[in-house]
Structure 1
Amino acid sequence: MTLALPGLDPVTDRPVFKQIADHLRDAIEQRKLEPGAKVPSEAKLMAHYGVARMTIRNALQVLQAEGLTVAEHGRGVFVRSRPQVRRLASDRFARRHREQGKAAFIAETEGVGGRPSVDSIQISETEPPADVAQRLGLGERDKVLVRSRRYLINGHPVETATSYLPASIASGTRIAEPDTGPGGIYERLEEMGYPLDHFDEEVRSRMPMRDEAKALKLAPGTPVFHLVRTAYAEDGTAVEVCDTVMSSDAYVLSYQLPAR
């Protein structure tokens, strides 16, 4: 084997397949196996450790369940390769990005050398969910414009987002078109007379729903960040609620908090 792996510990009570998983995990974390690299084949691992194929498969399944590797049919098992975007909360919605014609996702992704794209765009007008109506301060008969989309980095999905905007503000505007133009939704809102003042965000971690795991092509055992953001204009009007589901292995959530 090209990769130097330790041997099994004969005196420990840790199961053999978990020892093997530990060795491979260490190699990944120490970047002896780089992102995108092929993990040694089952045959090579069997020969190195002197164990049965099922033991090796159990070890590899541990790594896949942890989101560290991905199996490709007919090709083998590879170290999961995704650029991690550092999502800096204090900077991502800075006006200077919009003035450069870049929405937050584009600015962040290009910052790590990734290629951003968006697909699965759907636009509709409907009655809002109760929690969204409350956040937007809408009445019982008020409707919202709904924009749902999926974000990708280098062609791989990393995030889904659904924005809810008061129909009284967004209906019939460019926000209701598939391509909202340079700077995205927030630049259009400011052009329409809603200069943005601040955003409130709530973030929690959970396991994905089945449709979320499918949309983001998540490996088994990979959690998601579920983030709900409300955007406020300078006059205190809530102008958007964005419900976002993010693959946890694609993002680092970074915050700067004042000490006083």
Structure 2
Amino acid sequence: MLVVLFVLMEEHMPDTGWASVSTPYVRPRRPGEADAWTEEAAAHGHVGTNRLRGVEEASPPREVAEVLDLGPEGTAVIRRRLVLLDGRPTELADSYYPASIARGTRLAEERKIPGGALTALAELGHRPHTAEESVTARPSTKPEQDALDIQPEDWVMVLTRVLRTDTGMPIEATVMTMVADGRELRYRMIINEEI
């Protein structure tokens, strides 16, 4: 029996030869450690920032409600961000947390979280154990064109990541809508052949 122990996703940024690795983005940060995007961009001589676009508790899209096991009446705390590279928009990132674990915590506050949301989740006793990702591409919408400074004919790549605890409980679903121009995603698996 083959068991997949680890999946490494690399995102190749256009015109830079830069391969982004997803592992730092799915683990809580250590005290004093910069967020993964700031750290990664700096390692490549760039400035990576996030602009918080809003925080609210609301009913998420049906697909998100399903992966978070919220049921028809369930709500989520939604944190919406604009991700920038050297001041230019590169991605919209909307992260959803079951309201039952996020309500009344730093996740529900409209401000940046030191160490990031995964650190806050870990402090609440919800450490990520597995990550599932799906990727699609589609034409951009008018709000995406405005936020990402792209043209009506431009497409976007949408990466959806769901994080679960070691018991299988979903704790975060993030929908990342990225400028698609020149991006390529590659997945590499490390397999344990024992068992």
Q: TM-score, normalised by structure 1?
A: 0.61
User: How far apart are residue 209 of structure 1 and its match?
Assistant: 1.4
Q: In the TM superposition, what are the counterparts of 1:1-260 in structure 2 within 5 Å?
A: 85-89=18-22, 91-93=23-25, 95=27, 98-99=29-30, 101-219=33-151, 221-249=153-181, 251-258=183-190
Q: Aligned equivalents of 2:180 and 2:43: distance in 1? A: 18
Cα 1:109–1:196 change in 2 (3 A) is same
Moved over 6 A (4+): none
Q: Aligned equivalents of 1:82 and 1:206: distance in 2? A: 22
Contact 2:141 2:152 in 1 (8 A): no
DSSP-derived class of the 1:134 partner: helix
Q: Is the helix fraction higher in 1 or 2?
A: 1
Q: Aligned equivalents of 1:146 and 1:136: distance in 2? A: 12
User: How far apart are residue 222 of structure 1 and its match?
Assistant: 3.6
Contact 1:85 1:108 in 2 (8 A): no
DSSP-derived class of the 2:113 partner: coil
Contact 2:26 2:128 in 1 (8 A): no
Aligned to 1:61: none
Aligned to 1:22: none
Bigger Rg, structure 1 or 2? 1
User: How far apart are residue 84 of structure 1 and its match?
Assistant: 6.5
DSSP-derived class of the 1:168 partner: helix
Cα 1:198–1:103 change in 2 (3 A) is farther
Q: Is the strand fraction higher in 1 or 2?
A: 2
CA RMSD of aligned residues (A): 2.4
Gaps of 5+ in 1: 1-80
Q: Aligned equivalents of 1:123 and 1:182: distance in 2? A: 16
**Counterpart of 1:111 in structure 2: which amino acid?**
A
Q: Aligned equivalents of 1:223 and 1:141: distance in 2? A: 33
Q: Aligned equivalents of 1:254 and 1:104: distance in 2? A: 19
Gaps of 5+ in 2: 1-13
Q: Aligned equivalents of 2:188 and 2:39: distance in 1? A: 18
Q: Aligned equivalents of 2:61 and 2:26: distance in 1? A: 29
**Counterpart of 2:53 in structure 1: which amino acid?**
I
Q: TM-score, normalised by structure 2?
A: 0.80
Count of residue pairs the alignment pairs up: 178
User: How far apart are residue 173 of structure 1 and its match?
Assistant: 0.8
Contact 1:88 1:254 in 2 (8 A): no
User: How far apart are residue 249 of structure 1 and its match?
Assistant: 3.5
**Counterpart of 2:148 in structure 1: which amino acid?**
L
Q: Aligned equivalents of 2:110 and 2:16: distance in 1? A: 26
**Counterpart of 2:20 in structure 1: which amino acid?**
R
